[in-house]
């Protein structure tokens, strides 16, 4: 029998006010197991035992057999029957603390159900002192079992694929087991500390931090929502919200505080954690992603110009050192992927003209149709052409004899018509020997002049700036 305001033990108290908080009480407001409580006459101390359905005296008023005075139950002093512990007087017991009387599994299931459906009642049945270790045991067991549903598919299947005896498999198992055992302790430890700190800063509370941790541990029953294998991870947000609501109700009842204070205390840690994760994403993850994206954008032209240059060399080797009449020939001979010509930008395929069609339709046409289209595109070029564009590349290989060419001659230049602001400051160029080089944009004009000097020594006409060559205006050699 404990004070409903402060949980103070009321056994042996003759007055009808709690010595701790001053709240009034009556024995008839409590229920007991029959014969577990003895009611003593306030005048002579004669013992009577509650044999009624609620453990009360029956009748509630009578004349004392020793002093003959008329007494009623609410006037009497209550004591525990000899050999009976306080927990044994409870009509309804806290299931998890009653594992000695019922089966372990049944006590566990009943505690989970009560923690999710009636968290306030579960907290009222939990003694304010002691039993904290058992609360941690409940939280750890429930959280670990619930987490198996999310962890097993991620860990077991890869381990089976790698091989159960490999070091990698054992390492994955070890990390999984360690994580399962540690996460309830870490999360509940931090969460309980934040919750009790907020309670301490905002006013009085009935108990110390142990009571707060009881609430956090038993409210972990909500984690079973995420237990279904494979599907449990999708229910994790629901279980987290349920855990918060149960914890608020338990803290409110266990610490005798208002709902607002309980909510502010319980939600302090999740909100702080959410803010921290958000800041981590905004200030660390997103900049990292953008850096990676810039790296991809930078790497794509460099990689693709190497592919185009090597395919040009293969074509020339198969055609006695001659370059293709139009770059579209490379798509079917030797088989350059069409998207390489637009730096993997699939949306640009349909915008890239090839004779009377576009690169997207050209790439899916039959080889015969591709050959006919490529020949038409080559015939459409001027007779004195020195460079033409296809996609993001300008081909400067016209007139070059690959069998006798200087290795430093430019054969293809990566020069998108609309250069992205995020692209790197270099221009990537394929050479006659199938390799690539890069030229800083700031000094490209000087490099172009040096290239034209090399071309002149090879009997080739000069190149205009390849970056100004368009699909409709290929570059031609100067007249005369």
pLDDT band at 25 (very low <50, low <70, confident <90, very high): very high
Q: Is 105 helix (H, G, I), strand (E, B) or coil?
A: helix
Task: With respect to residue 276, please indicate whether it lies within any of the assigned structural domains.
Answer: no
The predicted model scores a pTM of 0.57
Residue 309: what pLDDT?
95
pLDDT by residue (tens digit) across 79-97?
999 888 887 887 778 889 8
For residue 154, pLDDT beyond 70: no
Q: Report the 10 Å Cβ neighbour count for 279.
A: 10
Same structural domain, 297 and 439: yes
- Listed range (116-125, 200-209, 228-237) with the worst mean pLDDT: 228-237
- Domain shared by 403 and 422, yes or no: yes
Give the pLDDT score at 422.
45
Task: Identify the domain containing residue 468 by its residue range.
Answer: 291-476
Q: Within its chain, how far is the Cα of 434 from the centroid?
A: 45
Indicate whether 74 and 139 sit together in one domain.
Answer: no
- CA-wise closest residue to 248 among 203, 272, 224, 215: 215
pLDDT at 226: 84
Task: Give the whole-number percent of the chain exceeding pLDDT 90.
Answer: 60
| Structure-model confidence comparison of residues 419 and 352, the more confident one | 352
Which of 12-26, 157-171, 203-217, 315-329 has the lowest average pLDDT? 157-171
Predicted pLDDT of residue 421: 47
- The confidence score (pLDDT) of residue 437 equals 94
pLDDT in tens, 267-317: 999 999 999 888 888 888 777 777 666 655 566 778 899 999 999 999 999
Q: Quick one: pLDDT at residue 176?
A: 64
Q: Are residues 440 and 423 in the same domain?
A: yes
Instruction: Based on the fold, state whether residues 177 and 71 are members of the same structural domain.
Output: no
Determine the Cα–Cα distance for residues 215 and 262; give it in Å rounded to an integer: 11
For residue 357, the SS3 value is strand
pLDDT at 355 over 60: yes
Task: Tell me whether residue 409 is in a domain.
Answer: yes
The answer on 402 and 352 residing in a single domain is yes
Window from 13-27, 150-164, 320-334 with minimum mean pLDDT: 150-164
> Across residues 316-342, what is the average pLDDT?
93
387 and 468 both lie in a single domain: yes
Q: 111 and 83, same structural domain?
A: no
* Domain-embedded: residue 277: no
Q: Tens of pLDDT along 157-171?
A: 655 555 555 555 556
Q: Is the peptide bond before 87 cis (omega within 30 degrees of 0)?
A: no
pLDDT computed for residue 177 by the predictor: 65
Q: Mean of the pLDDT values across residues 429-440?
A: 94
**pLDDT at residue 461 above 80?**
yes
Task: For residue 338, give every residue at least 6 positions away whose Cβ sits within 8 Å of its Cβ, in sequence order, or none.
Answer: 331, 349, 359, 360, 362, 363
- For residue 371, the number of C-alpha atoms closer than 13 Å in the C-beta half-sphere is 5
- Bridge partners (DSSP) listed for residue 72: 61
Whether 449 maps to a domain, the answer reads yes
In sequence order, the β-bridge partners of residue 48 are: 39
Q: Per the domain annotation, does 31 fall within a domain?
A: yes
Distance of alpha carbon 293 from alpha carbon 284, whole angstroms = 14
Give how many domains the chain has, as a whole number: 3
Calculate the alpha carbon distances from 206 to 39, 199, 375 in Å.
28, 10, 90
- Residue 280 counted as domain residue: no
Distance CA 177, CA 192 (A): 23
Lowest mean pLDDT of 24-38, 228-242, 364-378, 443-457, name the range. 228-242
The answer to whether residue 266 is domain-embedded is no
Nearest-angstrom CA–CA distance, 223 and 241: 10
Q: What is the mean pLDDT of the segment spanning 193-204?
A: 94
Strand 61-63, strand 47-49: pairing: unpaired
Q: Is the pLDDT of residue 146 over 90?
A: no
Using CA atoms, how far residue 441 sits from 157, 222, 423, 427, 452, in Å, is 50, 61, 11, 6, 17
Q: Which two tokens stand for residue 101?
A: 């009387």
Whether residue 435 is contained in a domain is answered as: yes
Q: Give the residues across from 2 on adjacent strands.
A: 9
In whole angstroms, give the CA distance from residue 383 to residue 259: 86
In this structure, are residues 338 and 359 in contact, taking their beta carbons and an 8 Å threshold?
yes
Q: Using CA atoms, how far apart are residues 442 and 468, in angstroms rounded to an integer?
A: 16
Instruction: Say yes or no: 33 and 150 in one domain.
Output: no
Confidence of residue 234 (pLDDT cuts 50, 70, 90): confident
Q: Looking at 74, 91, 108, which one is the last position of a domain?
A: 91
Q: Looking at the structure, tell me whether residues 103 and 208 fall in a common domain.
A: yes
pLDDT band at 110 (very low <50, low <70, confident <90, very high): very high
Q: What pLDDT score does 218 carry?
A: 95
Percent of the chain whose predicted confidence (pLDDT) is above 70: 89
User: Is there a single domain that holds both residue 359 and residue 250?
Assistant: no
Give the domain-ending residue among 68, 91, 114: 91
How far, in Å, are 15, 22, 69, 76, 168 from residue 64 at the CA level?
19, 29, 5, 11, 79
Co-location of 444 and 336 in the same domain: yes
Q: How far apart are CA 47 and CA 18, in angstroms?
A: 22
Q: What is the mean pLDDT of residues 386-392?
A: 95
Question: Residue 138: which of 174, 97, 91 has the closest Cα?
Answer: 97
The last residue of a domain, from among 91, 110, 138: 91
């Amino acid at each position: 029998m404990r004070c409903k305001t402060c949980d103070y033990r009321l056994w042996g108290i003759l007055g009808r006010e709690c010595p701790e908080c001053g709240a009034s009480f009556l024995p008839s407001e409590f229920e007991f197991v029959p014969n577990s409580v003895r009611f003593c006459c306030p005048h002579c101390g004669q013992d009577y035992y509650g044999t009624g359905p609620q453990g009360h005296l029956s009748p509630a008023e009578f004349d004392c057999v020793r002093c003959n005075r008329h007494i009623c139950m609410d006037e009497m002093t209550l004591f525990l029957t000899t050999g009976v512990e306080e927990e044994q007087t409870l009509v309804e017991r806290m299931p998890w603390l009653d594992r000695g009387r019922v089966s372990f599994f049944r006590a566990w299931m009943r505690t989970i159900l009560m923690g999710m459906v009636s968290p306030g009642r579960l907290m009222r049945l939990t003694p304010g002192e002691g039993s904290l270790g058992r609360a941690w045991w409940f939280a750890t067991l429930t959280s670990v079992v619930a987490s198996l549903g999310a962890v097993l598919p991620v860990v077991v299947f890869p381990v089976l694929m790698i091989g159960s005896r490999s070091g990698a498999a054992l390492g994955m198992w070890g990390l999984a087991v360690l994580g399962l055992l540690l996460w309830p302790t870490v999360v509940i430890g931090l969460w309980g500390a934040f919750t009790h700190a907020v309670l301490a800063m905002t006013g009085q509370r009935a108990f110390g931090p142990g009571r707060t941790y009881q609430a956090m541990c038993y409210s972990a029953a909500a984690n079973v929502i995420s237990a279904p294998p494979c599907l449990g991870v999708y229910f994790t947000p629901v279980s987290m919200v349920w855990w918060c609501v149960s914890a608020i109700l338990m803290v409110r009842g266990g610490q005798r505080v208002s709902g607002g204070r309980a909510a502010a205390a319980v939600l302090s840690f999740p909100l702080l954690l959410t803010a921290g994760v958000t800041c981590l994403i905004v200030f660390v993850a997103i900049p990292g992603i953008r850096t990676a994206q810039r790296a991809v954008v930078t790497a794509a032209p460099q990689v693709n110009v190497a592919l185009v240059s090597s395919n040009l060399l293969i074509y020339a080797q198969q055609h006695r050192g001659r370059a293709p009449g139009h770059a579209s020939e490379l798509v079917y001979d030797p088989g350059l992927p069409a998207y390489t010509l637009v730096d993997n930008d699939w949306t640009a395929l349909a915008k890239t003209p090839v004779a009377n069609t576009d690169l997207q339709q050209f790439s899916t046409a039959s080889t015969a149709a591709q050959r006919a289209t490529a020949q038409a595109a080559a015939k459409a070029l001027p007779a004195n052409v020195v460079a033409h564009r296809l996609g993001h590349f300008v081909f400067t290989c016209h007139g070059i004899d690959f069998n006798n060419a200087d290795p430093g001659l430019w054969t293809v230049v990566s020069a998108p018509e609309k250069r992205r602001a995020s692209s790197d400051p270099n221009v990537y160029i394929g050479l006659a020997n199938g390799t690539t080089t890069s030229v800083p944009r700031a000094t490209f004009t000087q490099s172009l002049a040096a290239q034209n000097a090399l071309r002149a020594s090879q009997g080739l006409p000069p190149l205009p700036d390849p970056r100004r060559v368009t699909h409709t205006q290929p570059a031609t050699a100067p007249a005369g």
